[in-house]
Amino acid sequence: MPEKQYWGKPTPMGRPKGAKNKWHQSPEERKAYLKDYKATHKREEQEYWKEYKRNNSEKIKARYLSNSEANKVKIRARARELKRELLSHYSNGTLKCVKCGFDDYRALTIDHINGGGTAHRRLLKGGFYAWLRKNNLPEGYQTLCMNCQWIKRSENREYKGIAQRINDKN
């Protein structure tokens, strides 16, 4: 008799108690079951990982150091790809500044059309580009080069501190 389909890995502590039949459910049913299981056994799982890290710290450190350079390269590549994807979306597929046409992606940024970008980024606490993708590329943003963005900030008085005092004198 062929083996039944296995729908993923068990939790770190092994197969949950009484879950013999749960491993052969549909993926949706199993996902709901594991979500419920993790919610009810969260403390046990935290203790397991704490103990694992304490007992295997050298092994974890060695694995991290052996992969750190490769991981950095992958992370940078993913970040560049995400930036290109978002910049081209918010510049209508052209990957250039919507005001002046500058096309070097290293100096292009996403701008909040109605201002308030600093406050919005503070609420997010990092990961603005990931937030845009996660929220299905919402409206209200545009691609600007840094020069156009600073000009816009100056024209709309979206700046604070020294720049404001200097600009108010002129």
Same domain, 45 and 118: no
Q: How confident is the model at residue 5, as a pLDDT?
A: 45
Same domain, 87 and 159: yes
Same domain, 90 and 49: no
Residue 170 has pLDDT above 70, yes or no: no
Instruction: List, for residues 6-63, the tens digit of each pLDDT value.
Output: 445 555 555 555 555 555 678 888 888 888 888 899 999 999 999 999 999 999 888 8
For residue 38, the enclosing domain spans 26-55
Tell me what percent of the residues of the chain surpass a pLDDT of 90: 44
Total domains in the chain come to 2
Amino acid found at 63: R
Q: How confident is the model at residue 115, as a pLDDT?
A: 85
- The pTM (predicted TM-score) of the whole model is 0.57
Domain presence at residue 104: yes
All residues at 6 or more sequence positions from 38 whose CB lies less than 8 Å from its CB, including other chains: 11, 45
165 pLDDT tier (thresholds 50, 70, 90): very low
Phi first, then psi: give them for residue 169, nearest 5 degrees.
-70, -30
Same domain, 101 and 148: yes
Same domain, 85 and 47: no
Residue 2 has pLDDT above 50, yes or no: no
DSSP code per residue over the chain: -PPPP--SPPBTTBSPTT-TTGGGS-HHHHHHHHHHHHHHTHHHHHHHHHHHHHHTHHHHHHHHHHHHHHHHHHHHHHHHHHHHHHHHHHTTTS-S-TTT----GGGEEEEETTS-HHHHHHHHTS-HHHHHHHTTS-SSEEEEEHHHHHHHHHHTT---THHHHHHHH-
Domain presence at residue 161: yes
Length of the chain: 170
